[in-house]
Structure formats: structure tokens, C-alpha cells
Amino acid sequence: MTHEGSAIDSTKPSIARVYDYLLGGKDNYAVDREIGDVFKRDLPGSVAIAFANRAALTRAVREIATTTDVRQFVDLGSGLPTADNVHQVAQRHAPESRVVYVDTDPQVLVHGRALLEENDNTRVVPADVRDPEAIRNHPDTVELIDFDRPVAVIFSAILHHVNDEEDPAAIVRYWREQVPAGSYFFVSHFRSGNNPETEEAEKVLQQTFGRGRWRSDEEIAALLEGLEILEPGVVPASLWRPDVVDSRWNRGGGQRELTVWEHLISAGMARKV
């Protein structure tokens, strides 16, 4: 989620491009790498947050595609394409899956248009997560998503960029009211460790982007009010249903002691009943 206009501005850092850089992507500029290097240099080990988050998202989408009848996904604040995007994971297991990506970053939208050319079941909606009605009523959303049938709503690493006064709980509540019973919600979120690492990382993001809010597991769970939070609850992302498939990201999943940084990103999945 950014405030950028329709043109790509290579002079101002972008949350999506910094994240891309931390994941080893190439869709970033010097100004993004400068911010990313603050994390790499001054907060060594913090890049694990990005990898743990991405791996948990992959597992969640795979689980929905393989263990439920849900074949519609709305990915809010989707970010730049990387390995195993939502549509790739979902369609690998359920080829008929339909995915709407939502973002405001112009570079994300450029990549999204390229996706459209190769995948009829994918759309990219240029909208801000804080304006859910614009997303819900966008022609591409209306065309692809049947809100009379269950939907998987994904908030992967986006709600922590919504400040308290912007009411992130109201955003989740809006989508909860739009989808029928049997729908799923996946949330990953910066997790407050009440430690110097949290304070420093939060300061970097606030100074750079004016947003970035670390919340406790209890605060994150409260965002899912009115939904049934599934096992194992809201936990560090690396411990959210880990498996050996993710060894390339997590180097062993939950088989070892997590680093302090891996404790700073939580994940959880909930269902509307």
C-alpha cells in the first residue's frame, strides 16, 4: 500500500519494492535498496521476517486450495510478484482458481498487467486496502469473484501498514460482512516483541513511510473478531503449520529454535461460520 500516483517514481522508496529487494528480487531502485540495506546492515537477521512471511502465505494458499472447496482469492496489498504467487500456488492444486490482486504501487500494477495477458483467471485492481468498497465494486472484482460463494481473503503483511487511526479492524470487518459462511481469512502481521529489535524496525518504517505498526498476538487476533480462528491460532509465521516443503525459505521450519526476528512476524487463519 502506497500513496504513489500512476507513474513509477524511482526517487522515493516503495514498500513493495523494498520487500522485493529483501526477498532477492530485481524490481527495485537504489532508493529502495538504501532502505533495505538499513535492515540488512543495521538489523542483521531481519530479512528472515520477509522469508518467513512469504512461506506462511504459500502454505496457507496451498492448504485452502487442497483441503477446501474455496476457489476464489482476494489478495489485498499483494506486492510485487515473486516465487509462488497466490495464483500460481492455488492454480497448481486447483486450476480453476480465480485470483484478484489489489495494490496501489504503480510497479505492482505494471507487473499485474503482464499477468493478465497470460492468465484469464487473474485480475489486478488498482485500489487502496483502506478503501474496501472501491475494491469490492471494481469491475474486475465483480467480474471474477462471486460473493455468493466462499472467498479466501488474504491480508499478507498489509494490515501492519494500516495505522491505528485508520481502523484496520473495520477493514477486516467489511470483508467479513461481504463474504458468505465457509470463507477463509489469512492474516500475517508484524508481531511486537517488546524488544529493541521491534522498536528499531518500527522506527525505520515510520520515518521512511509514515506507517508500520507492530502489534501483539492479542491485537492481531482481535482484527479477526467475529471469525473462527483455526489451529494453531495466531503464532510466529514460521510455526504456522510448517512443513518440509518450506525448507528453502525457513531452513527447517519449526524444527529448530526461531531467531529473534522470526518471532516478529505472526500468521493466522480464520473461517467465517
Q: Does 144 map to a domain? A: yes
Q: Does 5 map to a domain? A: no
Residues of the domain holding 225: 15-271
Q: Find the range with the poorest average confidence among 121-125, 171-175, 210-214, 219-223.
A: 210-214
- The tally of domains found in the chain comes to 1
Q: Does 3 map to a domain? A: no
- The stretch 8-13 carries a mean pLDDT of 82
- Domain of 167, CATH number, reads 3.40.50.150
pLDDT at 67 over 80: yes
Q: Does 165 map to a domain? A: yes
Nearest Cα to 6, choosing from 91, 93, 104, 118? 104
pLDDT at 2 over 60: no
User: Per residue in 210-239, pLDDT tens?
Assistant: 778 889 999 999 999 999 999 999 999 999
Question: Mean pLDDT highest for which of 130-144, 201-215, 254-268?
Answer: 130-144
**185: part of which helix (H) or strand (E)?**
strand 184-190
Q: Does 4 map to a domain? A: no
Spatial neighbors of 117 by CB under 8 A, at least 6 apart, are: none
C-alpha cell at 47: 530479512
Q: Does 6 map to a domain? A: no
pTM (predicted TM-score)? 0.84
Q: Is the dihedral of CA 233, 87, 14, 262 positive or negative?
A: positive
* Residue 105 confidence class, pLDDT cut points 50, 70, 90: confident
